[in-house]
Amino acid sequence: MAGKAVTLLHNPRCGKSRQALALLRERGIEPAIVEYLKTPLDAASLKRLLAQLGMTARQLLRKGEPAYKERGLADPKLTDAALIAAMAAEPILIERPIALAGARAVVGRPPERVLEVV
């Protein structure tokens, strides 16, 4: 399937992330895989990603992670910059998987959403 190059921000331990990767591969798409827990995004990259996703930093946070509670990230007074800094420091806080192609990006929840960027 010819199309845009796809990048998948992937956590191989996450079932949804593995499902998203399988969906892409079933369609003949071999994405560039970024294991973002091993290669964390810096704050500038996260800001660009949020713009591509059309999301706020708070929307990209995994609220069920222990680090979310430990860092007090539920505090509504925290700025986007503070939330982005927390995600850069602890990438487990970033919702996953995320597929990127060209200027578009989408969180693969449910996994089928990754097909929206191809």
Same domain, yes or no, for 69 and 111? no
**Does 2 score more than 70 pLDDT?**
no
pLDDT of 8 reads: 98
Same domain, yes or no, for 47 and 78? yes
In this structure, what CATH number is given to the domain that contains residue 46?
3.40.30.10
Report d(CA 43, CA 115) in Å as an integer.
Answer: 26
List 14, 37, 92, 115, catalytic entry:
14
Secondary element (H or E) of residue 50? helix 43-53
- pLDDT grade for 25, boundaries at 50, 70 and 90: very high
Let me know if 107 is a catalytic residue.
Answer: no
Same domain, yes or no, for 52 and 29? no
pLDDT of 1 reads: 42
Same domain, yes or no, for 30 and 64? no
Average per-residue pLDDT in the chain? 95
Same domain, yes or no, for 111 and 86? no
For 20-30, b where at least 16 C-beta lie within 10 A, e where not — what string? Answer: bbebbeeeebe
3-state secondary structure of 32: strand
Average pLDDT over residues 24-45: 97
**Does 4 score more than 90 pLDDT?**
no
Average pLDDT over residues 15-43: 97
**Does 71 score more than 60 pLDDT?**
yes
**Does 3 score more than 80 pLDDT?**
no
Same domain, yes or no, for 12 and 31? yes
Same domain, yes or no, for 21 and 1? yes
- The range of the structural domain enclosing residue 87 comes to 41-94
